[in-house]
Amino acid sequence: MDIKSRRWLIGVVLAAFFAGIAFSGGVLFASGHSKWMNPVLAALNQSPASTDTASGSTMPGVGPSTIADMVAGAGPAVVRIDTTATTQVQNPFFNDPFFRQFFGQDYSQPQTQTQQALGSGFLISADGYLLTNQHVIDGAQTIEVTIMGQSKPVAAQVVGSDKDLDLAVLKINDGSNLPYLKLGDSDKIRLGDWAIAIGNPYGLDHTVTVGVISAKGRSMTIESRSYRNLLQTDASINPGNSGGPLLDLAGEVIGINTAVNQQAQGIGFAIPSNTVNDVLNDLMKGAHISHPWLGVEISNVTQDVATAYGYNGTSGVVVRSVISGGPADKAGLQDGDIITGWNGASVADTNDLLQKVQQAGVGAKINLTIWRDKQSVTASVTLVDQPSS
């Protein structure tokens, strides 16, 4: 083949090559809205409703204005909660005789200190019942609620509350046709489902943040309060969001925003709506909510612990301490026992044991299987209502 023919052949190949690139680019661009190329854009353009084949529930599709429309409908039911509390503070220098000599007895009187706090909540009935966290109103002498669109707050009274669950129901008298939110079914929530938080972080009223459900069943302890079965979300939750709703795309409450991980970005926690559903009637009646109690402090079994105790495996829970006078103490449990069985069923870890205690209820008689002194023994324990702290 001569040089001229070779040049012609190379030209044809290059032309075909660039034509192929242009065609492929056109196909890739045209398919940019397909599920294969861009699932987010595909979701935003799906039909008005989609069916979850796993649960059989129907949820609205996500369009360009789906979340905005939902917030417009749900937002008016979200309220701002302002509380004040007064405390008496003793002058720390008064016990010093030289201080008393120079400043006299006038400084012996306790000084009044007023503390103000801010939180969120949401209406659950047209006649003014609303939900929030117990820690939002804990110790408050006055509670005021500001409803969206109203310039003046209204006074609120605590109807019922529970410290362990961190839930409180308040009541305001501001008419009988107030906007309110419906509690959804948090058990149907899946990882990756949309989650929308509305609240008043840092006093910025009706701030909306959007994310997904990152995890379920989280447990954590904050100060003296132990939370179980929390929803985790990457929708931003900040101080002031506490007590506000975590919503799904249908505008139903799937959780109550309650905590934020200060050491991480994009990690917030909410109490599942079904935890609320279980006790809501009692809270609205101001009734006492019982909490079955075993009376032990526990931790998970590590491999080091198992080796030290001659125990095979890491299932079960270690009794770190037995609370004097509690059910476990009366049943003869000891520090260092490993609880491995509950009425014949195995105990996996601390969350499993706590769930078994909660499901059993106050008054239940339980046969525990315990690993002690390198052998398995049994103990019978009767659960009681947890004493008030």
Judge whether residue 348 has pLDDT over 60.
yes
pLDDT range class, residue 188, cuts 50, 70, 90: very high
The whole-number pLDDT of residue 286 equals 92
* Distance separating alpha carbons of residues 165 and 93, to the nearest angstrom: 39
The whole-number pLDDT of residue 358 equals 87
Considering 49-58, 232-241, 271-280, the range whose residues carry the highest mean pLDDT is 271-280
CATH of the domain spanning 75-108+118-172: 2.40.10.10
pTM of the entire predicted model: 0.73
Judge whether residue 153 has pLDDT over 60.
yes
Q: Where are the alpha helices (DSSP H) in the chain?
A: 3-30, 39-44, 66-74, 97-103, 134-137, 273-285, 303-308, 327-330, 350-360
pLDDT tens-digit series, residues 166-177: 999 999 998 889
Judge whether residue 26 has pLDDT over 60.
no
The whole-number pLDDT of residue 109 equals 62
* Distance separating alpha carbons of residues 229 and 355, to the nearest angstrom: 9
61-65, 120-124, 349-353: least confidently modelled range: 61-65
Contact 238, 198 (CB under 8 A): no
Could you list the active site residues? 135, 166, 242
**Closest of 229, 247, 233 to residue 184, by C-alpha:** 247
Contact 211, 231 (CB under 8 A): no
Portion of the chain with pLDDT greater than 70, in percent: 76
**For the chain, domain boundaries:** 75-108+118-172, 186-285, 292-385
The whole-number pLDDT of residue 124 equals 97
Judge whether residue 200 has pLDDT over 60.
yes
CA atoms within 13 A on the CB side of 75: 14
Both tokens assigned to 126: 């047209």
More confident residue, 8 or 135: 135
Contact 48, 66 (CB under 8 A): no
The CATH-assigned architecture of domain 292-385 is Roll (2.30)
- Residue 84 identity: T
pLDDT range class, residue 22, cuts 50, 70, 90: very low
DSSP string, 51-115: E-TTT--EEE---TTHHHHHHHHHGGGEEEEEEEEEEEE--TTTT-HHHHHHH-GGGGSPEEEEE
Both tokens assigned to 135: 């820690």
Q: Which CATH class is domain 186-285?
A: mainly beta
Q: Do domains 75-108+118-172 and 292-385 have the same CATH topology?
A: no
